[in-house]
Amino acid sequence: MPEKETMERARKDKQEGKAPSTQAGEFVKEEMDHIREGKHGARSPQQAIAIGLSKARRAGVKLPPPKNASERTRKQAARDDAKGSGRSKGTARKTSRKRSQATSRALKREGHAAASHRALSKQARSSAKKRGAANRSQAARKAARTKGAGGRSQAARKAARTRARRSGR
C-alpha cells in the first residue's frame, strides 16, 4: 500500500496536468526510498521501477501497458490497471497473507545497491540511449511548458552552473 504522502504528490501532479509517467514517478521514488531505508531490497533498478509502476497502476494512475514486455508482464499490468480503475473481475479478494509475506521475505533477501545513485544513473542513461534525439527534445520542450516561469528560471540557473563546472575541468 503506497504511503499517504506519495498518493498526495501523485494527485497534485495529476491536477497540474502532468503526464501519467510523472505521476507514476512518485511511486517509483517511494520504492527507491524504501530500498535505501532498508525496508527491502531489489535485484536491479529495473525491478524496483517495475514494483513502483505496479503500485502506481493499482493506485489508479492511467499508465499505458508496457510495449516490449513478456505476455506475463502485460497480463499483470492489465490486472494492476483493472484494480486501480475499480473494474477488476469478480469480487475483491483480501490479499493472501501467506503470499504477501512470501513476497516481502523474498525482497528482504535482496541487496540494496539497486537504489544507489550509480545504479540509477546507469539505468537512466541506458534508457535515454534507446530514445531518439527528437523524442528526447520533445520531452524536454514539454517539461519546460509544464514547469512554469519559476521552474524555468531555476532550471536555467542549474544549467549555467553545470556548464560552468564542465568547462572548468
pLDDT digits (tens, 9 = 90+) for 89-124: 655 678 899 999 999 999 999 999 999 999 999 999
On the question of pLDDT at 8 being above 60, the answer is: yes
pLDDT value of position 167:
87
Give 114's DSSP letter: G
Which residues, other chains included, contact 120 with Cβ-Cβ below 8 Å and sequence gap of 6+? Answer: 32, 45
Contact 59, 129 (CB under 8 A): no
Looking at residue 168, what is its pLDDT?
76
- HSE-CB for 82 with a 13 A CA cutoff: 12
pLDDT digits 0-9 by tens, 11-67: 999 999 988 999 999 999 999 999 999 999 999 999 999 999 999 999 999 999 888
**Nine-digit cell string for 168:** 572548468
Cα within 13 Å of Cα(26), Cβ side: 23
For position 67, what pLDDT does the model report? 86
Q: Which of 110, 126, 136 is nearest to 51 (CA)?
A: 110
Per-residue pLDDT for 150 more than 80? Answer: yes
User: What is the enclosing helix (H) or strand (E) of 53?
Assistant: helix 45-58
User: Quick one: pLDDT at residue 29?
Assistant: 96
Residues whose CB is less than 8 angstroms from the CB of residue 54 and which lie 6 or more positions away in sequence, other chains included: 76, 77, 80
Which of 10-14, 146-150, 161-165 comes out lowest in average pLDDT? 146-150
Res. 144 pLDDT band, cuts 50 70 90: confident
Query: If you average pLDDT over residues 132-159, what whole number do you get?
Result: 89
Confidence of residue 134 (pLDDT cuts 50, 70, 90): very high
Q: Residue holding cell 519559476?
A: 150
What residue type is 39 in one-letter code?
K
